[in-house]
Amino acid sequence: MPSISKSIISVVAIAAIGTSIWALLLTSGIYDISLDELRAKYETPASKYVELDGMDIHYIDEGEGPVIVLSNASYHTTRAWDGMVQNITDRFRVIRFDFPGNGLSGLDTQGRYSPELYGDVITLLTDSLGIDKFYLIGTSSGGTVAFRYAATNPEKINRFVLINSAGMPRTAVTNPNRERGTAFGRWVSSNHQSMDWWRASLSQTVTKRPPFDWHVEMNYDMNRRDDRYETGALFRRNYITGDPSDVLDDITAPTAIFWGMKNPTVMHLEANVIQLWMTGAPTIIKKYEELGHYPYIEEPELVASDISAFLTGDWDDQLRQTQRVKPEDLLAANAN
């Protein structure tokens, strides 16, 4: 018996030492990657940089024709649009960029990570390129940036597209950033998200087929950037949804709302709520039965074709403008 007890103690001790070494590795930065390394791996021949209000912003400017500006999702970079963009640059000039502290862009020296700052980047970038009006497309958290921008800068937006947009009010149950799993599991993922972790995560949001290997690898690389901790925490702290109904009400540009029916992050009925609240703009909803949170990655040719059809006016006979009576207006009417 004593020998068995000693063996058990030895196994436990070895496991504890191994766990401690592994924990030290996770927090040591051994898995981190620098911005210079990311740029060496992910820059394209079309990659450019511009300094905007102290921020070194990476952007790609391709194609000819009416200008489209893209606003990308959290945890993704402007390269996530590659497939869709290559199917649309024969008709449009497409400008896409990485938000400060994201992708291949540098940090904001003033630490202003918020949807408001990201909207300012759109203005600064388009002004630097001499662009007065453009089509705007936003997805996921980049959709929140985009619809706030479209509401406050209506003179700049020709037409507007939302793809699985975030920005709607959340409860503790529906918040996509809610705590899940065990405390230990959350600690591990906060320090290192492995390639397998990203494959499993993307498998929940990419629904028609397994996530592409390039998609998994890019997310893995971009989200182990060595300066990501502070920027991510600041953006999450500053990302306050509030009540978007009055914001959406101020959008006036014709708008297409694209949504994946198998989207577990933001359910498809949110598209209908967004349309209901957009009383200032003619709108149309297009839902994809088999697609998830990133339809422009899963089916880039289809989404590019639909975007082109909407932007060129082919769907104008299907546009509708909703009317919504606010409770205070209804009370006032009844009082009279």
Question: So what's the pLDDT on residue 75?
Answer: 84
* Cα 267 from Cα 220, distance rounded (Å): 25
Q: Is the pLDDT of residue 318 over 90?
A: yes
pLDDT at residue 34 greater than cutoff 50: yes
What is the pTM for the complete model shown?
A: 0.86
pLDDT value, residue 336: 62
- Taking 70 as the threshold, does the pLDDT of residue 10 lie above it? no
Least confident of 45-49, 203-207, 215-219: 203-207
| Gap between the Cα atoms of 200 and 191, Å rounded | 17
Structure tokens at 22: 């592994």
Q: In what order do the strands lie in the sheet with 255-260?
A: 47-52, 55-62, 93-97, 67-71, 134-140, 157-165, 255-260, 283-288
Long-range contact set of residues 169-178: C-beta below 8 Å, sequence gap at least 24: 169/241, 169/242, 169/243, 169/244, 170/241, 176/265, 176/266, 177/236
- Please count the other Cβ atoms lying within 10 Å of the Cβ belonging to residue 153: 16
Alpha-carbon distance of 78 to 109, in angstroms, equals 21
pLDDT of residue 307: 98
In this structure, which amino acid lies at residue 276? L
How many other β-carbons are positioned within 10 Å of the β-carbon of residue 26? 16
- Mean pLDDT value across residues 275-283: 95
Q: What CATH class has 35-177+228-329? A: alpha beta
Domain extent listing, the chain: 35-177+228-329
The pLDDT mean for the chain works out to 86
**What is the identity of the amino acid at 160?**
F
What is residue 19's predicted lDDT score, i.e. its pLDDT?
45
Question: Which tokens sit at 277?
Answer: 């609240």
Q: With cut-offs at 50, 70 and 90, classify the pLDDT of residue 170.
A: low
How far is Cα 38 from Cα 104, in angstroms, rounded to an integer? Answer: 7
If you average pLDDT over residues 117-134, what whole number do you get?
96
Q: Which of 279, 265, 255, 47 is nearest to 136 (CA)?
A: 255
Region 52-73: mean pLDDT is 96
Query: Tokens representing 165?
Result: 């947009």
What are all long-range contacts of 306-314, with beta carbons under 8 Å and residues at least 24 apart?
306/256, 306/258, 307/68, 307/84, 307/88, 307/137, 307/161, 307/256, 308/88, 308/91, 308/92, 310/159, 310/161, 310/256, 310/284, 311/66, 311/68, 311/92, 311/135, 311/159, 311/161, 312/91
- Considering the chain, what percentage of its residues have pLDDT values greater than 90? 64
Helices 183-191 & 2-28 angle (0-180, nearest 10): 40
β-pairing verdict for 55-62 and 47-52: antiparallel
